[in-house]
Structures are given as C-alpha cells and as structure tokens.
Structure 1
C-alpha cells in the first residue's frame, strides 16, 4: 500500500511540474504579441497626429528625427540609475521645453506644432484608457 501511495505522489508531482513548465513557456510569445501591437498602435497614432496637424511628408521626416533624438535622450536618462524619479522627470521636462518644442516650432511653426503635440497627447491618453 505504501508503494502505491508513493508511486501516485511521484506521478502527481511529475505531471504538475510538466504542466507548470508548459504554462511558463506559453507566456513568452504572448508578451511579444502585445509589444508588436503597441508599436503598431504608436505608429498609427503618430500618423493620425500628423494628419490632424496637416504635416507634409518632408516635415514628417524632420519631426521623426526630432522624436527619435528625444527618445534616445529619454532612454539615456532612464538608464542613469543615479537620478531619482523626480530628477529624471525634471530633466525630461527641461529637455522638452528647451530643445524638443523649439525644434518642432521651427519645423512646423508654432500653431501647427501645438496642434501636433495636443493630438499626440490626446491619442496617447485614449490608448492608455483602452489598456
């Protein structure tokens, strides 16, 4: 009787471990899919913001360069572990006010730049509500 009980317990633990490993391996592709969807959604939102602000193709290239530069700066700050959360936010805001916004104003003009930034903000908020 003890042998039967021991064998059943061993089988139970083996099956549990196998199912747990299967479940954890299934999670990896599931996390990659939302990342791709998020990237696609960001691109769609950017195109919509361009459309709302009436940005031409030539201007889109310049704006994309400014946004890419801003992203690099942001990632650099986030990688800097010596900064507190508040310091990082302050530096990002300062960068936006002194570098990013003036460059957008130069490329698009003050009025269309504001329309573009407002459209981006609205679309981002709508995306966050969906999640």
Structure 2
C-alpha cells in the first residue's frame, strides 16, 4: 500500500478515523477498515499510473502517499461526505489523470514505451512491426 494507518492518523487525526471506522463504539480505530480503504486507493492509483510506471511504485513519492490518504479518506465516508473530503478526492483524481497523460511526472521507475528508443513502431491487428522486425523487407 502507498500509505499506512499512521499516515492517515498524521493527516486527519486519530479521532476522525475512530469516528469513520468504529461502528461498535469501542473508542478505537478499526484498522482492518482503514487498511481496506488504503488497499482500494492503492489499486485505483495503480490503475492510473501503470501505463507509465512500474507498479507498485518504489520508492513511494510523497505526492502519491498524500493522494492515497485523500482517496482512502473519501472511501471511509459512507454517507454525507464533507466538501473538504470531496475536494481532496477530486484533487487526487486530477493529479492521477495528469500522471496518466504525462503532464505530471513522478519520482519513480518508469516503463519504457514502444518507440521510446527512437525506433519506428507500427501496431496493426495486434501485431507489432518495428525497424528490427522489418529488416530485409
């Protein structure tokens, strides 16, 4: 996962996590609920960045850790999501869209795309033709 329960507590406070997870009124954070939200947020992030970066990202950029927390926080709200939580979620999604489009670059190991080496690449009907594979024609 790109963030921890500790990251969530640092950003939003333990009391908020208790309020969002403690349905049995024990007064404690239900860690399994927070970990599920963090796992779901991580999967969403991977979906956006996998075309440009090797996942899981390593090391985890601070920006991605923040996005993971904001998305997980949104997921923890079951009803009546406050505007500040919606704004954090939307900001994270916009950042991920920008990463997917190549507008924002992460400090992580990227994935080489076809043609990145300057080689001409043509994909037709599922077949990939490169300068090397077409040599002699």
Same fold flag (TM > 0.5): no
Point out the structure with max Rg over C-alpha: 1
Higher helix share: 1
Higher strand share: 2
Q: Higher relative contact order at CA 8 Å, sep ≥6: structure 1 or structure 2? A: 1
TM-score of the two chains, using structure 2 as the length reference: 0.28
TM-score of the two chains, using structure 1 as the length reference: 0.29
